């Protein structure tokens, strides 16, 4: 991915804030310890003058630094939070057309509903509930355009529990009623 237009200042900001959004974009190494980290590493923030930035793990290793045991910059897949969110999305994609109990899903993921919701929101920008709603509206959109099924039937197939809830959510996301969307309005979910 490279560092694109990241300035040293921006990188330093990311390091001091342990900003996860920068993980993978660059790595920082600490001259005094000989160790390099991901920007999000929770290790103590180093003194600025001791820090070197690298675009890749390979470059940091080549410069003689060792990967941090805590944030494991050498293991791109090591990210338990991301794993949890990805698993959650996979489950939600399976179940969104049915009534969804987030407590059950959190239990399947071995976490609490509040922790699950917080991680999900941080990673995707929306709550699991919104994710479910978005999936339902998308499903309804394709059914409206690709089938002749009645509006009520489509609401039901897409997982909405009532026609009024369907209309409200649909309009919120597309700016159109289901009928208008079917006639070819160009709203996008
Ligand atoms: Zn680290």
CA distance 82 to 90: 12
Please give the distance, rounded to the nearest whole angstrom, from the Cα atom of residue 35 to the centre of ligand 1. Answer: 8
The pLDDT assigned to 80 comes to 73
Please give the distance, rounded to the nearest whole angstrom, from the Cα atom of residue 15 to the centre of ligand 1. Answer: 10
The pLDDT assigned to 97 comes to 95
Q: Could you give phi then psi for residue 51, rounded to 5 degrees? A: -100, 135
Please give the distance, rounded to the nearest whole angstrom, from the Cα atom of residue 126 to the centre of ligand 1. Answer: 28
Cβ-based neighbour number of residue 99 at 10 Å: 9
Per-residue pLDDT of the chain in tens (189 residues, 90 and over written 9): 444 578 999 999 999 999 888 888 899 999 999 999 999 998 888 998 999 999 999 999 999 999 999 999 988 655 678 788 989 999 999 999 999 999 999 999 888 999 889 989 988 889 999 999 999 999 999 999 999 999 999 999 999 999 999 999 999 999 999 999 999 865 555
Please give the distance, rounded to the nearest whole angstrom, from the Cα atom of residue 16 to the centre of ligand 1. Answer: 12
Please give the distance, rounded to the nearest whole angstrom, from the Cα atom of residue 63 to the centre of ligand 1. Answer: 17
Closest to 22 (Cα-Cα) out of 4, 35, 48, 34: 4
The pLDDT assigned to 124 comes to 86
Please give the distance, rounded to the nearest whole angstrom, from the Cα atom of residue 175 to the centre of ligand 1. Answer: 45
CA distances from 137 to 67, 93, 100, 105, 128 (A): 44, 13, 15, 21, 14
Ramachandran assignment for 4, one of left (phi > 0), alpha (psi -120 to 50 degrees), beta (any other): left
Helix (H) or strand (E) holding 105: helix 102-108
Q: Which of 37, 41, 71, 169 is catalytic?
A: 37
CA distance 25 to 3: 5
**Biggest CA pair distance of the chain:** 68
Per the DSSP assignment, residues forming a β-bridge with 30 are 35, 51
* Structural domains in the chain, sorted by start: 8-67 (3.40.10.10), 80-130 (1.10.10.60), 132-182 (1.10.10.60)
Q: Is 41 a catalytic residue?
A: no
Please give the distance, rounded to the nearest whole angstrom, from the Cα atom of residue 29 to the centre of ligand 1. Answer: 9
Residue 88 burial (C-beta neighbours within 10 Å; 0-12, 13-18, 19+):
buried
pLDDT in tens, 107-131: 998 889 998 899 899 888 899 999 9
């Amino acid at each position: 991915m490279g560092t694109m237009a990241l300035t040293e200042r921006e990188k330093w900001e990311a390091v001091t804030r342990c900003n996860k959004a920068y993980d993978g974009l660059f790595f920082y190494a600490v001259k005094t310890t000989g160790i390099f980290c991901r920007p999000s590493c929770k290790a103590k923030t180093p003194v600025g003058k001791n820090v070197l930035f690298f675009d890749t793990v390979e470059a940091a290793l080549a410069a003689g630094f060792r990967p941090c045991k805590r944030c494991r910059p050498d293991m791109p897949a090591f990210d338990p939070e991301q794993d949890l969110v990805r698993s959650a999305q996979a489950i939600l994609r399976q179940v969104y057309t049915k009534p969804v109990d987030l407590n059950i899903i959190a239990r399947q993921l071995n976490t609490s509903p509040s922790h699950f919701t917080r991680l999900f929101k941080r990673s995707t920008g929306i709550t699991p509930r919104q994710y479910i709603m978005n999936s339902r509206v998308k499903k309804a959109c394709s059914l409206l355009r690709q089938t002749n099924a009645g509006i009520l039937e489509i609401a039901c197939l897409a997982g909405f529990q009532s026609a009024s809830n369907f209309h409200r959510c649909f309009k919120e996301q597309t700016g159109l009623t289901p009928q208008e969307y079917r006639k070819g309005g160009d709203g996008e979910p």
